[in-house]
Structure 1
């Protein structure tokens, strides 16, 4: 599968089978994140993979009771050690962790695994559930597992609505 094929295959999966994610699959997804670029090559991210059902239930509560967090055999939390600003004024942690998770989502799609980037969660509750350091920043959460559904592609804006090629 090419990168473009993985991009085209990726879907937000909200229902998962009970089939476990193998250690090899999990490590391959995590490795994709580790290899992602980061501001000034800080690599100040951490990828916490939660297999424990009781801890996934605590994370589900921190994620506004989204059932897929408890249903998927793994929940990934991407977090950073701190939250410095880049010269452009953007949060290095948010940008770096988002790039890393994007790489992980594409690798998961390539492996036939489902994910769903969650935007609805309480970052402080996620930190508390995982026992993260006080200065840590929980940036992203996604379930990871074998899809129990095959969602259709969602509509996308036309290139003319989002592309602006100059020169």
Structure 2
């Protein structure tokens, strides 16, 4: 599959089968995250693999968006290791964690696995449940597994603006404020 086709076909899986993810596939997904680019190559990502029944139960107490996946990857970044932009000290850790998450999400799709990027979780509940130190910032949760047979892309999956709505050449002249796709 070529890359553009992969990103078009990949969708958020919200129904997972009970089938376990093979270690070889998990290793490839984690490797995709390891080699993802990060600001100044500081590699501040820290990934917690949640696969035990005990940890999956803890996860359910932190978010309703776990989708009963057989495992999840909690992507954090180390705020003491992430690069800070010199102009305003903006921390690039969230950007780095997002790039890492995207790489893992796409690798999973190529392997026939499903994911959903979850940002709706209680960070303090996550910290408490998994004993996460203060210098690690939870950025994304990636439920991971095989899609159930009755799982399909959301009806809005293919609804996209024309490129002219999101891409501008040389100037933002004529850009409109706050318009989002109609649901």
Q: TM-score, structure 1 length as denominator?
A: 0.91
CA distance in 2, matches of 1:60, 1:88: 40
Spell out, residue by residue over 1:61-114, the C-alpha distance to the aligned partner (whole angstroms, 9 max, x if none).
Answer: 212x2241xx11111100012165323544311000000001111111111111
Q: Counterparts of 1:31-50 in structure 2 under 5 Å?
A: 31-50=31-50
Aligned equivalent of 1:25 = 25
Aligned equivalent of 1:60 = 60
More helix per residue: 1 or 2? 1
Bigger mean CA offset, 115-124 vs 75-84: 75-84
Aligned equivalent of 2:162 = 158
1:2 deviates by: 2.0
Bigger mean CA offset, 133-142 vs 96-105: 133-142
Aligned equivalent of 2:70 = 73
Q: 1:6 is paired with a residue of what secondary structure?
A: helix
1:142 deviates by: 1.2
User: Larger Cα Rg: Structure 1 or Structure 2?
Assistant: 2
1:166 deviates by: 2.8
The 4+ residue runs of structure 1 with deviation greater than 2 A are 83-91
How well do the aligned residues superpose, as a CA RMSD in angstroms? 1.7
Q: 1:62 is paired with a residue of what secondary structure?
A: coil
User: Which runs of 5 or more residues in structure 1 are unaligned?
Assistant: none
The size of the alignment, in residue pairs, is 164
**In 2, are the aligned partners of 1:3 and 1:106 still within 8 Å (CA)?**
no
When residues 110 and 46 of structure 1 are mapped into structure 2, their CA distance, relative to the original with a 3 A threshold, is same
User: Which runs of 5 or more residues in structure 2 are unaligned?
Assistant: 172-183
